[in-house]
Amino acid sequence: MSVTTRFAPAPTGRLHVGNIRTALHNWLLARARGGRFLLRFDDTDAERSRQSHVEAIRADLDWLGLDRDGEARQSERFDHYEAGFEALREAGRVYPCYETPQELELKRKVLLGRGRPPVYDRAALALTERQIADFERAGRTPHWRFRLDHDHPIAWDDLIRGPQHFDPNLLSDPVIRREDGSWLYMLPSTIDDIEMGITHVLRGEDHVTNTGLQIQIFEALGEAPPTFAHEALLVGSEGKLSKRLGSLGVEAFREAGIEPSAVTSLLARIGTADPVEPFAALAPLVESFDLDRFGRAPARFDRTELEALNARIVHQLPYEAVADRLPAGIDVAGWEAIRPNLRTVGEAEGWWRIVEGPVAPPNVDAEIAAYLDIAAASAEAIDWSADPWHALTDALKAETGRKGKPLFLPLRQALTGRESGPEMAKLLPLIGKDEAVRRLRRK
Ligand code: GLU
């Protein structure tokens, strides 16, 4: 069976780590099975949906490398929802309701007060034609509920949660359309999933009850429901999806110098039985993607883990992958020399400044000054063609008897202006003979 998945954000804001993870998993599931991955904008809410968010979401997915095989917008499909609604109405599966929000709230409170589940009592189903006519005359328009089939238990085999069961008697008939004719999420999503041939709906476990309701909508529309998988939610290191995490998205990652592959490496694996590994490309994640590996416990997102993973990915990136982001002048050798010291590609700039100079001469006492003068003379004398750093330090060891830190540290300080940094063996050839001699002379 060919697989089609979809990612269905409401364009009411930017993507955050939680929905980036859902998008990624849907993309991986489609790619792992040679299937299709669709982007669907759930933009029935004209008030809150923005074109700028639509564009930002596309750009975020592009940045992450999640390509799509198609795109749809619910706001362009209202005629489809109208047709589905009419079909359900003819089949007697939707009914008009006239309760005000206050009346509904009161009903809820009464039931809860009696220790009963706050299930809608279907009072609207008992309205007479006359009562309905009276409402209409008074200028009241109804909202619409989907009538669940109480004799038909709801069950599905969830690819992550295993067998799921719901007793429809314990669920309220969901409101699918508001008084003003606008759509709630429930029906349009079901119709789209049918018409777009979605085979697998993979989403957060906050949608489990919706799935129970939607399964009956699929069936009422004469369609077999797709396969469902509900993943445990993403939480922060403090144990919940905090506000901070809820606003953490691609923009923040870019600013912090996080590579897209660090984000995908982390979000593909947290909450699964597989280890988080630094993959600079998506292919290994596609190959190893398996819903059987997903756990039921919340996936924990840890910013420090992301940063550490990012550093490990930067250490693997070839020159070609970063060349357009490096300061002018860095070549392959330069990149490979400084790469192991970077947490982000952006930090290359700072290290490259060390190579290019100027480097401020260190403040040294007379003894170290004398040592550096000897070092400068040695640097003039050695062979620079092969491995000048070892040639220089070997010569100095023999000449001064220094070893370890007293041998190396003053050289590093004079040559780089810092106490730590990239391997000197790689840095020194980049600094070059003349500049190295000048720095050792502290001019
Ligand atoms: N727009 C819905 C959401 O973002 C989509 C849920 C779904 O995948 O069906 O929650």
What tens digit of pLDDT does each residue of 155-164 get?
999 999 999 9
The binding-site residues of ligand 1, defined as CB within 6 angstroms of any ligand atom, are 8-10, 42, 185, 189, 203, 207
Distance CA 157, CA 159 (A): 6
pLDDT digits (tens, 9 = 90+) for 342-389: 999 999 998 888 898 889 999 999 999 999 999 999 999 999 999 999
Contact in structure between 414 and 357 (CB atoms under 8 Å) = no
95: domain CATH number? 3.40.50.620
Average pLDDT of the residues in 270-284: 97
Note whether 225 and 114 are same-domain residues.
yes
Closest CA to 69 of 36, 98, 25, 106: 36
Note whether 373 and 406 are same-domain residues.
yes
Number of domains composing the chain: 3
Note whether 129 and 167 are same-domain residues.
yes
In the prediction, which pLDDT does 357 show?
Answer: 87
- Establish if 396 belongs to a structural domain: yes
Beta strand extents in 48-194 (DSSP E only)? 70-73, 94-97, 143-146, 154-158, 162-166, 175-177
Q: What is the DSSP letter of 179?
A: T
Beta strand extents in 81-214 (DSSP E only)? 94-97, 143-146, 154-158, 162-166, 175-177, 200-204
Distance CA 84, CA 404 (A): 79
Integer angstrom CA distances of residue 380 from 35, 156, 279: 64, 78, 44
387: domain CATH number? 1.10.10.350
- Establish if 32 belongs to a structural domain: no
In the prediction, which pLDDT does 115 show?
Answer: 95
pLDDT digits (tens, 9 = 90+) for 406-417: 999 999 999 999
Please name the residue ranges forming H helices in 196-314. Answer: 208-220, 243-246, 250-255, 260-269, 283-288, 303-314
- Establish if 85 belongs to a structural domain: yes
Reported as a pLDDT band with limits 50, 70 and 90, residue 69 is: very high
- Residue matched to tokens 């606008």: 182
Note whether 90 and 224 are same-domain residues.
yes
- Establish if 26 belongs to a structural domain: no
Note whether 174 and 99 are same-domain residues.
yes
- Establish if 207 belongs to a structural domain: yes
Note whether 335 and 209 are same-domain residues.
no
In the prediction, which pLDDT does 347 show?
Answer: 92
**Closest ligand 1 atom to the C-alpha of 189?**
9
In the prediction, which pLDDT does 245 show?
Answer: 79
Q: What percent of the chain has pLDDT over 90?
A: 90
Note whether 341 and 436 are same-domain residues.
no
Query: SS3 for 236?
Result: strand
Q: What is the DSSP letter of 172?
A: P
Task: Provide φ and ψ at 193, rounded to 5°.
Answer: -60, -35
Q: What percent of the chain has pLDDT over 70?
A: 99
CA of 43 to the centre of ligand 1 (A): 11
Contact in structure between 68 and 37 (CB atoms under 8 Å) = yes
Average pLDDT of the residues in 46-74: 97
Note whether 341 and 368 are same-domain residues.
no
In the prediction, which pLDDT does 30 show?
Answer: 98
Note whether 150 and 224 are same-domain residues.
yes
The domain of 106 spans 79-230
Contact in structure between 375 and 396 (CB atoms under 8 Å) = yes
Task: Provide φ and ψ at 378, rounded to 5°.
Answer: -60, -45
CA of 213 to the centre of ligand 1 (A): 14
The residue from 206, 230, 254 where one domain ends is 230
Tell me the HSE value of 66 on the side-chain side, using a 13 A CA sphere.
Answer: 32
- Establish if 279 belongs to a structural domain: no
The residue from 196, 213, 230 where one domain ends is 230
Cis peptide preceding 358, ω within 30 of 0: yes
| Atom 4 of ligand 1, residue of closest alpha carbon | 9
Average pLDDT of the residues in 205-219: 97
CA of 409 to the centre of ligand 1 (A): 58
- Ligand 1 pocket test: pick from 185, 190, 234 the residue with the most ligand atoms within 8 Å of its Cβ: 185
- Establish if 240 belongs to a structural domain: no
Note whether 148 and 189 are same-domain residues.
yes
The residue from 230, 264, 290 where one domain ends is 230
- Establish if 21 belongs to a structural domain: no
pLDDT at 242 over 80: no
In the prediction, which pLDDT does 238 show?
Answer: 75
Compute the C-alpha angle 236/242/245, nearest 5°.
Answer: 70
In the prediction, which pLDDT does 241 show?
Answer: 64
Note whether 205 and 343 are same-domain residues.
no
Average pLDDT of the residues in 435-443: 94
Note whether 103 and 170 are same-domain residues.
yes
pLDDT at 1 over 80: no
Structure token pair of residue 225: 């429901």
CA of 8 to the centre of ligand 1 (A): 5
pLDDT digits (tens, 9 = 90+) for 96-127: 999 999 999 999 999 999 999 999 999 999 99
